[in-house]
Amino acid sequence: MSKIIGLMVFLLSVTTASAQFTLEAVSYSTRCSGSSTGLVELTPTGAVGEVTYLTNLDLTALPAGDYTISAQDASGATASTSFTILDHPATCGCTYPTAFNYESNAEVDNGSCVFSTDQSCLADIVPDGIVGTNDLLQLLVEFGVICE
């Protein structure tokens, strides 16, 4: 007597959709009017392997304007995104009153301040060639300020 054993086979098919390669941009305005201090943070999603940005721009020193950036992942897929860098209306310049090139109308310091480099007279805080009362008063005004 022979038995036939029925065997039932279920074929389970699982389809996974591959993620689409996209590029997201978060842009930041310039620090001051007319400067190249805007920047963008790019976030790739769904990329395979390393992402290469197809631009020769410095993405951390952008002037105000409209931009489109493209990128390519290791599989050859491409994505692009557009963004705008706004021009901040503030005036940049040297904001330290003790600097030679102090600009009283500057609202944002741009790192251009020039200070005395004459090491022979360090106590001449107000660079007028004389160590006097004005230097002492300026020291008292600045006393306790944390330098960065």
Q: Coil, strand or helix: which one is 138? A: helix
Listed residues 42, 58, 85: the one ending a domain: 85
Q: How far apart are CA 13 and CA 108, in angstroms?
A: 62
Q: Which domain holds residue 64?
A: 22-85
Q: Is residue 54 part of a domain?
A: yes
* Residues 60 and 98 reside in one and the same domain: no
pLDDT digits (tens, 9 = 90+) for 116-134: 665 567 777 777 778 888 8
Phi-psi region of 46 (alpha: psi -120 to 50; beta: other; left: phi over 0): left
* Residues 69 and 51 reside in one and the same domain: yes
Q: Is residue 74 part of a domain?
A: yes
pLDDT digits (tens, 9 = 90+) for 61-112: 999 999 999 999 999 999 999 999 999 888 888 898 888 889 999 888 888 8
Instruction: Please provide the average confidence, as pLDDT, over all residues in the chain.
Output: 81
Q: Is residue 148 part of a domain?
A: no
Q: Is residue 17 part of a domain?
A: no
Q: Is residue 2 part of a domain?
A: no
* Residues 101 and 127 reside in one and the same domain: yes
The number of domains in the chain is 2
* Residues 69 and 107 reside in one and the same domain: no
Q: Is residue 10 part of a domain?
A: no
**pLDDT at res. 63:** 94
* Residues 106 and 77 reside in one and the same domain: no
**pLDDT at res. 19:** 66
Q: Is residue 48 part of a domain?
A: yes
* Residues 50 and 79 reside in one and the same domain: yes
Q: Is residue 9 part of a domain?
A: no
